[in-house]
Amino acid sequence: MVLAVRNTRHVPSATLRFVDVTLSWERASAGRTAVLRRRAAGLGWEELARTTETSYVVRGLHPERAHAFAAAGVLGDGGLEPEDDWERVRVAPVASSGTPALPSVPTYFAAAQSGDQLTFRWTPADDGVSATFEIRVGDTWEDGTLVAEDLTTSPHTWSWPSSGTHDFHLKAIDRLGHASRAAATLSISIQPLGDHATESETDESATWPGTATNLENDAGALQLEQLPLQFGAATDPFGSFAGVPCFAKTFPEGTYETVPIDAGATVKERLEIEWGTVQPLPVPPPFGSVRRPALGKRHRRDGGLLPPGTRTWATKQSWRVTPLEPVDVAVEIDTSQTAAGAWDGWRPYVPGVHVHRRLRVRITLRGDGLRFVRLPRLVIRRRRFNLKDEGLAVLPGGVPIEVFLAQPFQSAPHPTASIVAGGTAVRIEVSVVTPTSFSVEAFDGGGTSVPATLHWHALGMFGVRKRCPVSMA
């Protein structure tokens, strides 16, 4: 393991004689680590803690003295590995500023579109500090939505969820989770796919006709609802503030569900969902903005430790702080294959082609509880295929017949058929669908294959997929 140290808080000795330092290490295998401090000369080592984490904060050190620490692996019987295998570090706070070198900003950040994919490229700085990279989309890095994290190399490919102009931000991250001070930024206009002939658009932003939970309409935008100002509970009567962040002004989470959209028939459509989120600060700000850690551990929403120096909010007389994190947005879709039947179930929205008769969308906003997270727009675009082939099929009965398409589709189309003449025929079965043909058969009420004349049509994408123009910033 490799033991490293940094000052997390340094107060000059003229005012308050202590510092906090963060010890961190890397383990070759999972297990517990013992953190030790050397006593006065000749008195050996003092064990401070045992932890499964890879970092530990030592508090209240004298800033004008040197301190020696060690990290030792804990064996299965509770003992420590041999002292020769310990990793040691000497801390002299006044002799060092305690501020580690932050990663440098990546250069030559660019993006290019190829169909439904967006490819990001950049050049990492040769600073010896940058370990991974993180991309966000939004007005700013702090308020953006995560695109990708823990990236180690360039390029990175991303399936864009909606067309239009978007701002992307890239930062380098060191192994302790500290980001570069500035971000590389670009703006790119994503072109819609050109292989669809028809397009329909549902704009929820006009009236928000769906169902909102913990969200309120504010000047045409949905906003996380403000918590009750009086002392009491978040729900009535006598609810609980469990899960509400310290000093929170708004509900930390809210959802909006659209009314069902009926396509009129079971069809294949490409779905594009465009949303925008902003986190304006309260005016005036109710608390002070700080860049220092609180006493005690602080965690992200996913349970991971928050890196020291994260921008936070705190009262002037309290060490308790609430981290200001970017808004989390979860977009889910649900489809149904019938006009009034059961739904298929909620699932994460993935850009692409979906088969449905009815469609509904649910969007969940999660904020830091201090800023009024707003959803100013939510647009659902449905693009249908650009090729339709149709004709008549005469079925002899007893066996299915194979219908050959006039020209091959790019992929298996969506064929349907209706009965023109057939006497006892009441049911049609389509099977073995390929880009060039499909099989069809008609049955009577008893399940017997019978003669019939059918009118069929097939919807799909024709030929080689079109390439969208490249747009770079």
- Which of 161-165, 178-182, 232-236, 387-391 has the least mean pLDDT? 232-236
Give residue for tokens 């209706």: 418
Q: Is residue 331 situated within a structural domain?
A: yes
Which pLDDT score, from 0 to 100, does residue 115 have? 74
Average pLDDT of the chain is 76
Do residues 27 and 165 both lie within one domain? no
Region of 16 (left: φ > 0; alpha: ψ -120 to 50; beta: rest) is beta
With 50 as the cut, is the pLDDT of residue 94 above it?
yes
How buried is residue 423: exposed, middle or buried, by Cβ count under 10 Å (0-12/13-18/19+)? Answer: exposed
Distance CA 140, CA 142 (A): 6
Whether 208 is covered by a domain: the verdict is: yes
CATH code of the domain covering residue 421:
2.60.40.2080
Q: Which residues contact 438 (CB under 8 A, 6 or more apart)?
A: 402, 403, 405, 413, 415, 430, 431, 432, 458
344 against 4, higher pLDDT: 344
pLDDT for the residue 324: 65
Q: What mean pLDDT do residues 131-142 have? A: 86
Q: Which residue has the higher pLDDT, 144 or 347?
A: 347
Same domain, yes or no: 74 and 14: yes
**Is the domain of 111 the same as that of 63?**
no
Domain membership flag for residue 243 = yes
Cα 324 off chain centre by: 17
pLDDT digits (tens, 9 = 90+) for 157-204: 888 887 888 899 999 988 777 788 889 999 988 887 765 666 778 888
pLDDT of residue 21: 82
- Is 445 inside any structural domain? yes
Mean pLDDT in residue range 249-253: 81
Predicted confidence at residue 363, as pLDDT, reads 93
Beta strands in 396-470 (DSSP E): 401-404, 414-421, 427-431, 437-443, 452-460
Beta bridge partners of 439: 402, 431
Q: How many domains does the chain have?
A: 4
Q: Nearest-CA neighbor of 223 among 359, 111, 373?
A: 373
Tokens 């299965």 sit at which residue? 76
Task: Return the closest-CA partner of residue 385 out of 203, 193, 190.
Answer: 193
The DSSP code sequence of 35-92 is EEEE-STTS-EEEEEEESSSEEEEEEE-TTS-EEEEEEEBPTTS-B--GGG-EEEEE-
Residue showing tokens 């004298």:
62
Judgement on whether residues 394 and 258 belong to the same structural domain of the protein: no
Cβ count within 10 A of residue 217: 11
Asked whether residue 52 falls in the same domain as residue 153, the answer is no
176 burial type by CB count under 10 A (0-12 exposed, 13-18 middle, 19+ buried): middle
Res. 136: pLDDT tops 60: yes
- Proportion of the chain above pLDDT 90, given as a percent: 11
Q: Are residues 111 and 185 in the same domain?
A: yes
Which own/partner contact pairs does 313-319 have at CB distance under 8 Å and 24+ positions apart? Answer: 313/247, 313/285, 313/287, 313/288, 313/289, 313/370, 314/247, 314/287, 314/288, 314/290, 315/247, 315/287, 315/288, 316/288, 319/294, 319/295
Task: Tell which of 34, 64, 95 closes a domain.
Answer: 95
Reported confidence tier of residue 97, pLDDT bands at 50, 70, 90: very low
Contact by Cβ (8 Å): 340, 245: no
Q: Is pLDDT above 60 for 139? A: yes
DSSP three-state, residue 382: strand
Query: Same domain for 358 and 234?
Result: yes
Question: Cα angle vertex 29, ends 23, 78, to 5°?
Answer: 80
Is residue 261 within 8 A of residue 222, CB to CB? The reply is no
Last residue of a domain, one of 191, 209, 233: 191
Read off φ and ψ for residue 350, nearest 5 degrees: -120, 125
pLDDT of residue 241: 59
DSSP run (H or E) holding 273: strand 261-278
DSSP 101-118: PPPPPPEEEEEEEETTEE
Per the confidence metrics, is the pTM higher than 0.85? no
Same domain, 265 and 340: yes
* Residue pLDDT, tens place only, 422-457: 778 888 888 888 888 999 998 988 888 999 898 887
Is the domain of 146 the same as that of 218? no
Closest CA to 462 of 412, 393, 402, 392: 412
Token pair of 391 as six digits: 């004709």
Q: Answer yes or no: is 143 within a domain.
A: yes
Per the structure, the complete domain to which residue 439 belongs is given by: 387-460
Please choose, from the candidates 372, 332, 98, the residue with its C-alpha nearest in 3D space to the C-alpha of residue 216: 372
Domain membership flag for residue 312: no
Does any domain span residue 425? yes
Flag whether 55 is in a domain. yes
Rounded Cα–Cα distance for residues 27 and 10 (Å): 28
Predicted confidence at residue 428, as pLDDT, reads 87
For 55, phi then psi, to 5°, come to -155, 160
Polymer length in residues for the chain: 473
Spatial CB neighbours of 462, under 8 Å, sequence gap ≥ 6: 195, 386, 387, 407, 409, 410
**Residues 155 and 210 reside in one and the same domain:** no
Are 65 and 8 in the same domain?
Answer: yes
The per-residue pLDDT for 169 is 93
Statement to judge: residues 220 and 80 lie in one domain: no
